[in-house]
A and B are shown apart, each in its own frame.
Chain A
Amino acid sequence: MSPSRHAVLAEGLQKRYGEKRALDGFDLAVERGSVHGLLGPNGAGKTTAVRILATLLRPDGGRAEVAGHDVSRDPRAVRRRIGLTGQAAAVDEINTARQNLVMFGRLFHLDKKRAVRRSEELLEQFGLTEAADKGVKEFSGGMRRRLDLATSMILAPQVLFLDEPTTGLDPRGRNEVWEAVRSLVADGTTVLLTTQYMDEADKLADRIAVIERGRTIADDTPAALKQQIGGDQIEVVVTEPADLGTAAGAVARVAGAEPVTDEENRRVSAPVTDRVSALTEVVRTLQEERVAVEDIGLRRPTLDEVFLRLTGHRAEEPEEPEGPDGPEGQGRPEGPEETEKQGAAA
C-alpha cells in the first residue's frame, strides 16, 4: 500500500488539553476520491482530528499527511489543497453571498476576473443565484451552509473536510447539504466527513471510521460495519406485558443476536440483517399466537447502539467539553455548548 493512494493519512496522532487526551493515537487512511465518514459522539475527538488535518492545530505527537504534504512541516502546501467547512458557517454575515465568494476567491489569490467568474459558477452550482445579492443574515441555515461549502470549493480542493456539516439543520437543510456533497464527490474531491449520525455516514460515506476517546475503534465499509453491529433493529411493542415472552421468542427466531426486552415500555428489540423477511416472519408468528401488538417496525441503529455493539458500552458524553475552557481556551470545545452556539448561529 503506497502512501500516494491516500489523500489523508494519520498515524498515531496525539493531542492533549491539560489532563484530557483529545486524541490518543488516532489513525486514519482515506483513499483518494472516496468519502470517509468519521463517526463518534460529542467529545470523541472528531473535531480535534479535523482541526489537526486542516492545519488549524498542531499535534503533540504522531504525524499526518494531507494531499501528500505533512501537516506540521508544510502547512502552507496543505492549505493550498484543502477546503474546510466547520461546524459554524464561516462566512461574512453582513455581506452578500456574492461578495463573500469574491472576497474569499481573492484571498485564494485568484485575480479579480477569475474570482468573479468563479463566484458565478459556485452560486449556480449551489443553487444560490437568486439569493446572490442578499445579505447572508437573511439566509436559512441550509443556504448558509451551502454558501459555506461553496466557499470551501473555490479552488476545487483535493481534500474537503466537513465537520458535522448538517448539525443544527432541519431535514430540508440536511438534504440540501447532502446533495451538494454528492455533486462535489462526483467531481473527484476526496471528502472527510465527521458526523454523529449513523444514517448520514451510511448515506454519504464509502467507508466509516468510528472514533471513541481519541482513537479509531473500527474502520470499514458501511455494509461491513452494519453486518458487524447487526444492521437494522426490529422493534415490537406489545399491548399486554404478559405477551413479552412470546414476542421475544418470535423476534429471537429471526434476529442475529439475543433480543433485548424493555419491560417498562413493553418493548422487544433485536438486530436483523434481512429486513423485510424478518418483519414478515415476526408479524406472522405474532398473529398466529394472537399477540396484541401496539407497534412494530424496523429502524436504523442509533449511534448509541453502534457503540454498544462495538465496545460493549454506551457512547459516553464527556463531562466537560473537549479542550480547555475560558479565556485560555484555544481548542474549539466539542461539547454541548458547541451545539447550542450552532443553533443560535443557524
Chain B
Amino acid sequence: MSTVTKHGTADPGAASTPVADLDIPERRFHHAVTDCLIIVRNEITHLIRQPVNIAWQLGFPIVSVLLFVYVFGSAMDVGGQADYKDFALPGMFAMTMAFGFMNTAVMVAITKEYGVMDRYRSMPMAPSAVVSGRGVADVISACLDLLVLAVIALAVGWRPDGSLGATLAAFGLLILLRFALIWIGVWVGLLVKNQEAAGNLFAVAFPFGMISSVFTPPSMMPDWLGAVAMWNPVSSTANAIRDLFGSPMPLGDSWIEQHALGAALVWPVVITAVFLPLAVRRFQRLSS
C-alpha cells in the first residue's frame, strides 16, 4: 500500500538538508548553557541594531537627573550639609534598576505575543534557556544602563568618594537589585495578555520607584508613607550605595534604615526566592 499524494515524490536534490541527529543522546546541561548564550547573543544583536532604544530607556532617568540637579536641586534640602546631587544621583541609579523590570516584562510579553515563545517551546532546545537567556541579557543591558548613567553623573559633577572596592560593591548591589527584579518581570510578562498590558504596568512601577528614598528621605514624608518608603527594597539599595559612595545621608533611626547594607543584600535574595519559582511555574503552565 503506497501513499499516494498529489504532489509527486521526494526530490533527491535535498540531500544537504540537515536532519536532527536523532541517535545521539541529548546533552541537556550542555544545551541549557549554549542555548542560553544563543538567546543572549540575539538580544545583544537587538541592542546593536537599535542603539536608540538605550537612549529611550534612559531618557526618563537622564531627564530626571537634569531636572533634580539643576531645576529643583537648589530648593531641595535633605538635611545635613550634603549636596543634593550626592543624594539624588545614587537614588537615580537605584530607580533605573527598579524600573528595569518593566523592560523584562515587555520583552517577555512580546516574545509571547508574536508566537516566538511557541516556536521556542516547539523546538528541541532547552526550555530553561528562554528564561535564563532573557535574564543574562537583561543583566548585561543593566550594566550598559549604569555605565551611561555614571558617565552622565560624572559630567554633572558627581564623584564617588568611597574606595574603589566600595564603589564597585555599590554597582554590584545595583545589579543585584536588577537581577532580582528580572523574575518579577518574567512572571508579569507571562501573566499579562500582550505588550500593551505590560507597558501599562508603569502605573504600578512608578510609585514603587518613587515612594522610596530615591529623591527625598522618608523621614520627611508623612509617617505612614515614610514607613512604606523606608521598607521599599529600592530605598535599601539607594541608602546602601550612598554609604558606599562615601556620602551617607542622615538617616532615621528605624531598624531598616540602620541596616541598609544588609537589607540591600537580603531584599534581592527574598525577591528572587519568591518570584523565581513563580516565574518558572508560570512558564510551565503555558502548556496547561
Contact = CB atoms under 8 A, between A and B. Distances in A.
A35 B16 CA distance: 23
Given A99-B45, A182-B7, A185-B7, A107 B125 contact: yes
| Residue among B38, B49, B122 facing the most chain A CB atoms (10 A cut-off) | B122
Interface in B39-67: 39, 41-42, 45-46, 49-50
B49 A135 contact: yes
B286 A330 contact: yes
Contacts of B287: 55-58, 330
| Interface residues of A, dominant DSSP | loop
Interface residues of B, number: 51
Contacts of A187: 10-11, 14, 17
Closest 6 CB pairs of A and B: A90-B115, A88-B115, A188-B10, A156-B17, A90-B119, A80-B20
Given A89-B114, A90-B116, A326-B193, A33 B122 contact: no
Interface residues of A, number: 58
Interface of B: 1, 3-11, 14, 16-20, 22, 26, 31, 34-35, 38-39, 41-42, 45-46, 49-50, 110, 113-116, 118-125, 129, 191-194, 285-288
Contacts, number: 141
Given A88-B115, A94-B50, A108 B11 contact: no
Interface string A96-120: 0001000110111110001001100
A13 B116 CA distance: 26
Given A35-B5, A151-B119, A156 B50 contact: no
A79 B119 contact: no
A84 interface: yes
9 contacts: A84-B119, A94-B45, A95-B45, A103-B42, A108-B124, A114-B18, A206-B4, A327-B192, A330-B287
A187 to B, nearest CB: 5
Contacts of B118: 51, 54, 56, 84, 86, 90, 332
A185 B4 CA distance: 12
A174 B45 CA distance: 31
Given A94-B50, A330-B285, 13 more contacts: A55-B121, A58-B288, A79-B123, A95-B49, A99-B45, A103-B38, A107-B120, A109-B125, A151-B119, A185-B5, A187-B11, A206-B4, A345-B114
